[in-house]
Chains A and B, each alone.
Chain A
Amino acid sequence: MSDLIELEELPVEAEHSMREEIRRVSERMRGRRVATSRVMVALCGVALVVAAVPLVALLYQLFDKGLSQIDWSFFTHLPETPTIIAPNATGGVSNAIVGTIALTIYASIVAIPVGVLVGVYLAETESKLATSLRVVSQTMAGAPSILMGLFAFSFLVHDLNIGFSSIAGSFALAVLMLPVIIISTEIAVRNVPNSLREAGLALGAKSHKVSLKVVLPSSITGIVTGCILAISRAVGETAPVLLVIGGGFTNSWQPFDPVSAMPLAIFENAKSEYPSQRAQVWGIALVLVIFVFLLSLTARIWASRKQQVRN
């Protein structure tokens, strides 16, 4: 222990003068430092306000202009094309609502089972395939959604020649939803404590029984949250369906018919030359946003319920 601390004391005067200088400078600079801090803190607050203003304005105008457009016939009637004689004849948007629901259901039917299974596989195996698919799904989750439209178009509409249809749109949306579901399922399954798996295996259960009977039930809230978030993303996406669903004017549930969708109706009618049609777009946007918000909130409530169960 001979190397234990040997202190070298500075000469007392030198130390004293140093302390004096530190105190003096620090005293002199204090006012400016505190003022700078106050100004910068205030600027951060200003940034918060600047960020909030357009978003609050957007929400306000959405409700302000949208609510007046919504009545019973808005949901039940097919759209009409305004003419010079009847510039206010816009009809309803039932085809877009039916289309959005149909597209979302068809897409979910495919994307949810496949996504959940892939997510379970990624969480429960360690292989090169799993690692690369993980990177692929994470990259796909951030890919511009119009690319899903291009894919659906060249594969289904062009190569397989099935035409502009609900099924092509659902395909694009399913590709969009898959990575979201895969990632959230993988996280939920991995979050299940290993002790549960070991308890199951110790009782002599086969691994697939443990996965189905123990792990999946324990991670179900996380999986459901992920699925709802994926659906809420799909509902609002315009770009992928824009290229492939064809914009039908009927209430069709048929997979091979061209259909419309709420985001598409917004996109098309926002540029309309008739003020009545432009006004109606706010109503569609309001319904869409409420739909998306409800889904997001449901997902959040599921997620917080999960935490309560944990605690």
Chain B
Amino acid sequence: MSVDQIPNAGLLEYEAVMVGDKPTVTSRTWYHWLLLTAVILFAAVSVGFVGTIFWSSFPTWAHHGFTLLTGKGWVSPDGPFGGLAMITGTLETSLIALVIAVIIGLGTAISIVFFIPRRFRTVVATLVELLAAIPSVVYGLWGLLVIAPWMEVTVNPWLNSWPFAKGIFGSPGQEFGTSLLLASVVLGIMILPTFVAISREVIAVVPQDLMEASLSLGATRWQMIRQVVLPTAKIGLLGATFLALARATGETVAVALVAGSVANAQFHLLYPGTSIAAWIATEFGESQGKEISALMALGVLLMLVNVCLALISRALVNRQRRILAKV
């Protein structure tokens, strides 16, 4: 449930209204001041949160300008600091992960809502939420110690036997178990529970009588889903997609463990790579001064991308809610 659906109580303005048109000082008690202190503290923290990271990144923007976005090499400890490899890595891994999660997740959500017997539905929903609660470092650990060796021995040679494999995956023999592809797959598995949980809710609130109306017109179950349920839930599903994308771009330690941690701007999926967040995590320990500032600048980038995605997702989910309120 979202906050926006429940009306504001306005209890704390009650006495102000009783006293007069304007809130008067006499109506404020110690409790109001306590609340206000906490609010100011939180406001200060959130301003400090954004401000400090921006401020620490300032030297980098001043010295290197936008080469941070376009430069290819990353040389510790004095630069130049090019973020292209991290940016492309983030894009590649999170988009592939998104495709995996959306295709599998949509089918899963549909199955949970329509085809699983009702008494198992709560169990499955609880399970999905528990899976979403598994710390990302555990997914990373599993990817690194279980999937990476398997990829190296079994999957990679098989992928390399595909036509055009060299263009997509890179030259045979140079690929690794830990790679952009592995990072994408692990990310996809990680964001799957989040996507399923939200899209399940979005699909479940499509009004029952719309579905019955389509069935009463002779639609098959799939026609009902494809032509009535999914279009009605479309915007909310898009919101879920953006939220999943936001999670994928911000994911840090799992990618740091399984992507291979190499700052190399390229598109071969079986070569090692990194992402913005993962690079901050892997480099931070050994960096000082200028490099820290450059990593902070990457953090600014990450923050901007994430805020945009989060706002888009929020707007979409709210719009879906308004649409359904009208139905």
Contact = CB atoms under 8 A, between A and B. Distances in A.
On whether A and B touch (CB less than 8 Å), the answer reads yes
B11 A144 contact: no
SS of A interface (majority):
helix
A205 to B, nearest CB: 11
A127 B37 CA distance: 16
Nearest to A236: B135
B296 A289 contact: no
Contact of A207 (B11, B281, B307): B11
A278 B38 contact: no
B286 to A, nearest CB: 12
Interface in A119-148: 120-126, 129, 133-134, 136-140, 142-148
A296 B281 CA distance: 27
Given A118-B39, A267-B257, A126 B8 contact: yes
With most chain A CB atoms within 10 A of its CB, the pick from B144, B220, B223 is B220
Contacts of A101: none
Contact of B250 (A134, A146, A178, A271): A146
Majority SS at the chain B contact face: helix
B9 A44 contact: no
A254 interface: no
Contact of B307 (A46, A139, A238): A139
Interface residues of B, number: 100
Given A46-B107, A51-B104, A133-B42, A289 B135 contact: yes
B117 to A, nearest CB: 13
Most chain A CB neighbours (cut-off 10 Å) among B222, B250, B281: B222
B140 A270 contact: yes
A292 interface: yes
A220 interface: no
A187 B3 contact: yes
Interface string B123-147: 0001001110111111111101110
Interface in A184-221: 186-187, 189-192, 194, 197, 201, 206-208, 210-212, 215
Interface residues of A, number: 101
A162 interface: no
Contact of A154 (B37, B134, B226, B296): B296
B29 A150 contact: no
A197 B9 CA distance: 9
Nearest to B133: A296
Interface of A: 26, 33-34, 36-37, 40-41, 43-48, 50-51, 54-55, 57-58, 61-62, 113-115, 117-118, 120-126, 129, 133-134, 136-140, 142-151, 153-155, 158-159, 175, 178, 182-183, 186-187, 189-192, 194, 197, 201, 206-208, 210-212, 215, 232-233, 235-239, 242-243, 263, 266-267, 270-271, 278, 281-282, 285, 288-289, 292-293, 296-297, 300
Interface of B: 1-3, 6-15, 29-32, 34-39, 41-43, 45-46, 48-49, 52-53, 55-56, 103-108, 110-112, 114-116, 126, 129-131, 133-142, 144-146, 189, 192-193, 196, 218, 220-223, 225-226, 243, 246-247, 249-253, 256-257, 277, 280-281, 284-285, 292, 295-296, 299, 302-303, 306-307, 310-311, 314
